[in-house]
């Protein structure tokens, strides 16, 4: 994997990712990258080009897939950013911004659930669609 290639994202985002990789001491030579055909919505461009990116980081046994965008270069960047997020969660959970977002969402959901139980009782349905 090489960060010198031009990604179709802002240079500031690439630099921020590069700093995170250096801080976590991730060896990009250990990242295996392969491409396959995408699927789903997107039409001919997505179904005929190999824009799905799979990154494997064998030292931690991580596999990341990304086919969110039509362009391969953007999918490469997004997959690498997700890989760095997962490595940071495992190596340094106290500095992980992503883990903080997960924890904040978990707290919001728990608070919402507690309010609903208080209002409707413990045996009330959790969904209003019932």
The residue-averaged pLDDT of 5-33 equals: 90
Binning pLDDT at 50, 70 and 90, where does residue 101 land? confident
Tokens of 59: 């030292």
Report the number of distinct structural domains present in the chain.
2
Tokens of 100: 């903080």
Binning pLDDT at 50, 70 and 90, where does residue 98 land? confident
pLDDT of residue 129: 55
100 and 86 both lie in a single domain = no
pLDDT of residue 58: 92
Q: Are 80 and 17 in contact (CB under 8 A)?
A: yes
Is residue 44 in a domain?
Answer: yes
Binning pLDDT at 50, 70 and 90, where does residue 92 land? confident
If you count them, how many residues does the chain have?
A: 130
The residue-averaged pLDDT of 2-23 equals: 86
106 and 68 both lie in a single domain = no
Binning pLDDT at 50, 70 and 90, where does residue 91 land? confident
Residue numbers of the domain that contains 81? 1-91
């Amino acid at each position: 994997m090489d960060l010198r290639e031009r990604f179709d994202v802002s240079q500031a985002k690439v630099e921020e990712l590069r700093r995170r990789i250096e801080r976590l001491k991730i060896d990009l030579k250990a990242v295996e990258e392969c491409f396959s055909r995408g699927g789903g919505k997107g039409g001919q461009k997505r179904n005929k080009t190999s824009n799905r990116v799979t990154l494997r980081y064998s030292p931690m046994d991580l596999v990341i897939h990304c086919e969110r965008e039509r362009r391969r270069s953007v999918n490469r960047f997004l997959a690498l950013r997700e890989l760095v997020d997962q490595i940071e969660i495992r190596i340094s959970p106290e500095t992980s911004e992503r883990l903080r977002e997960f924890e904040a969402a978990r707290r919001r959901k728990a608070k919402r659930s507690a309010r609903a139980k208080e209002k409707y009782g413990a045996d009330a349905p959790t969904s209003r669609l019932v």
